[in-house]
């Protein structure tokens, strides 16, 4: 018989025992685009002027030849790097397929490479996401899970929040028996500034359903993502 992971217990302020459960995310975080069509936005000219201000702040001359076109390039780069704000995660997962021949084990995609930006310093962090889910009758196209990672990664993030959003979106839209997400990443806000520790990796994970409740499934997931490197 499979063991069950019980919720962690602690003491409430009144001294009574209480269970600590995983915080629920607001569905608006992962079911719709992050920017509403009616949301006010700065103009491109205002954004480029902000870049000029930052160049002047660091001691540069925004009017010198090498920097004349930099504000435009930076804004164009931001349009690409943060395109995830305009994309809807739920739409990526909505098309599923039912011809699975009764498949009832989990589906795993490992080593999904991504680059995101830390919301604290707006500096890149990058690494790999590993995703597994156990479908009920219908499965989603494999590329859609990689696309889902890209949508959330192309927003300002923390690694913890990115992990939770990916798991919550799959869990809510596909409604599988369980979801497992692990992310390993290097943060340049830690490696190229501040403490300057290059090569340090941060690991985060999120489990739902059968992966949360069954440590044997967690172990199998971990064993498979730690398998022979390609």
Please answer whether residues 176 and 186 qualify as being in contact, where contact means their C-beta atoms are separated by less than 8 angstroms: no
Convert 3-13 to b/e letters by CB count within 10 Å (16 or more is b): eeeeeeeeeee
Active-site hit among 48, 154, 187, 217? 187
113 is catalytic: no
**Which one is catalytic: 87, 159, 165, 218?**
159
- Active-site pick, 46, 119, 137, 160: 119
Asked about 161 being catalytic, the answer comes back as no
Instruction: Given the residues 19, 49, 83, 120, select the one marked as catalytic.
Output: 120
Structure tokens at 111: 């080593």
Which residue in 60, 86, 91, 121 is the catalytic one?
A: 121
Place of tokens 């992990």: 163
- Is 88 considered catalytic here? no
Report how far residue 25's alpha carbon sits from residue 171's, in angstroms, rounded to the nearest whole number: 12
How far is the C-alpha of 71 from the C-alpha of 68, rounded, in Å? 7
CA distance 13 to 55: 50
49 is catalytic: no
Collapsing DSSP to helix, strand or coil, 203 comes out as: strand
Catalytic residue, candidates 52, 86, 184, 189: 189
Reduce the DSSP state of residue 24 to 3 states and report it.
coil
Q: Which residues share a beta bridge with 208?
A: 179
- Determine which one of 118, 130, 154, 217 is catalytic: 118
Catalytic status, residue 118: yes
Q: Which residues are the active-site residues?
A: 118-121, 159, 187, 189
């Amino acid at each position: 018989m499979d063991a069950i992971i019980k919720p962690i217990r602690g003491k409430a302020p009144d001294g009574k025992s209480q269970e600590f459960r995983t915080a629920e995310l607001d569905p608006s975080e992962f079911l719709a685009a992050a920017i509403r069509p009616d949301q006010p936005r700065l103009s491109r000219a205002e954004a480029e002027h902000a870049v000029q201000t930052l160049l002047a702040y660091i001691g540069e001359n925004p009017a010198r030849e090498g920097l004349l076109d930099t504000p435009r390039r930076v804004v164009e780069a931001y349009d690409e790097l943060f395109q995830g704000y305009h994309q809807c995660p739920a739409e990526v997962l909505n098309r599923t397929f039912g011809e699975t021949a009764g498949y009832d084990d989990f589906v795993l995609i490992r080593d999904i490479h991504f680059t995101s930006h830390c919301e604290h310093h707006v500096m890149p962090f990058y690494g790999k996401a590993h995703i597994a889910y156990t479908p009920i009758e219908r499965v989603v196209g494999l590329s859609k899970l990689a696309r889902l990672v890209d949508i959330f990664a192309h927003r300002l993030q923390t690694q913890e929040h990115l992990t939770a959003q990916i798991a919550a979106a799959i869990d809510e839209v596909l409604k599988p028996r369980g979801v497992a997400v692990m992310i390993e990443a290097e943060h340049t806000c830690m490696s190229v500034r501040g403490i300057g520790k290059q090569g340090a990796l941060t690991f985060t994970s999120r489990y739902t359903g059968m992966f949360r409740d069954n440590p044997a499934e967690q172990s199998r997931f971990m064993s498979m993502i730690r398998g022979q490197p390609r």
